[in-house]
């Protein structure tokens, strides 16, 4: 919508200047048109980023890192007017609140560690502290021990339940495949 307005700026100006239509109060100044253009540029980058691939849990943190880096560059760039830089700083503050919420759930770090392309190397390449990297590795190991240690994996394909815990459900073939996949991913992360 914003891009459409910018593409048709001359027509919009003519319509809003028309006294007969009583739309003068909606006429934008040159400064407001410049702000609209700058905002369109920033939003275009965001739209491009979010439309380029299918998001998944493992990419949430890396996407937030990239967005944070981009917002940081916009917030200090003097080519943007003060109102745009202020809005970007507010967006960055909001992003940081959501980023902090990812610390409350271990699934994000587990998903990164189990991702075949990312693994623990993602944390190292982005400058996470050794303590945080160790925590991510520990989370995966503990989750495996908690959720899958009751299973015996033979020949990396057959899974049998040694003993059935109280209140457990029957293990169906899709669960077996899921557990096998989890086991293989886990082993590849630490080898």
108 exposed, middle or buried (CB, 10 Å; 0-12, 13-18, 19+)?
Answer: buried
Is there a single domain that holds both residue 95 and residue 13?
A: yes
Does residue 45 belong to any structural domain of this protein?
yes
Domain with 35 in it = 2-102
Is there a single domain that holds both residue 10 and residue 78?
A: yes
Q: What pLDDT does 153 receive?
A: 55
pLDDT in tens, 148-176: 777 665 544 444 444 444 444 444 555 54
Is there a single domain that holds both residue 128 and residue 76?
A: no
- The percent of residues above 70 in pLDDT, for the chain, comes to 75
Is there a single domain that holds both residue 170 and residue 93?
A: no
Is there a single domain that holds both residue 163 and residue 90?
A: no
Domain end (from 74, 102, 130): 102
Does residue 21 belong to any structural domain of this protein?
yes
How many structural domains compose the chain?
Answer: 2
Is there a single domain that holds both residue 165 and residue 89?
A: no
Is there a single domain that holds both residue 83 and residue 7?
A: yes
Is there a single domain that holds both residue 91 and residue 20?
A: yes
Can you give the chain as a three-state secondary structure string? Answer: CHHHHHHCHHHHHHHHHCHHHCCHHHCCCHHHHHHHHHHHHHHHHHHHHHHCCCCCHHHHHHHHHHHHHHHHHHHCCCCCCHHHHHHHHHHHHHHHHHHHHHCCCCHHHHHHHHCCCCHHHHHHHCCCCHHHHHHHHHHHHHHHHHHHCCEEEECCCEEEECCCCCCCCCCCHHHHHHHHHHHHHHHHHHC
pLDDT in tens, 42-74: 888 777 767 766 668 888 888 888 889 989 999
Is there a single domain that holds both residue 92 and residue 182?
A: no
Is there a single domain that holds both residue 124 and residue 97?
A: no
Does residue 46 belong to any structural domain of this protein?
yes
Domain end (from 75, 102, 129): 102
Contacts of 186 (CB under 8 A, 6+ apart): 114, 140, 144
pLDDT at residue 145 above 60? yes
């Amino acid at each position: 919508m914003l891009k459409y307005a910018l593409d048709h700026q001359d027509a919009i100006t003519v319509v809003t200047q028309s006294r007969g239509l009583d739309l003068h109060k909606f006429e934008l100044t040159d400064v407001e048109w410049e702000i609209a253009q700058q905002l369109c540029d920033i939003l275009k980058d965001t739209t491009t980023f979010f439309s380029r691939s299918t998001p998944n849990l493992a990419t949430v943190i890396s996407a937030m890192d990239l967005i944070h880096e981009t917002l940081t560059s916009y917030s200090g760039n003097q080519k943007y007017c003060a109102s745009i830089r202020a809005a970007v700083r507010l967006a960055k503050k909001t992003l940081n609140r959501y980023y902090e919420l990812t610390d409350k759930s271990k699934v994000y770090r587990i998903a990164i560690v189990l991702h075949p392309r990312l693994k623990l190397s993602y944390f190292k390449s982005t400058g996470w502290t050794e303590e945080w990297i160790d925590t991510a590795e520990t989370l995966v190991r503990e989750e495996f021990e908690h959720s899958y240690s009751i299973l015996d994996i033979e020949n990396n394909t057959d899974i049998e339940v040694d003993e059935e815990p109280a209140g457990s459900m029957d293990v169906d073939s899709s669960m077996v495949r899921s557990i096998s996949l989890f086991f293989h991913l886990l082993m590849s992360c630490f080898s």
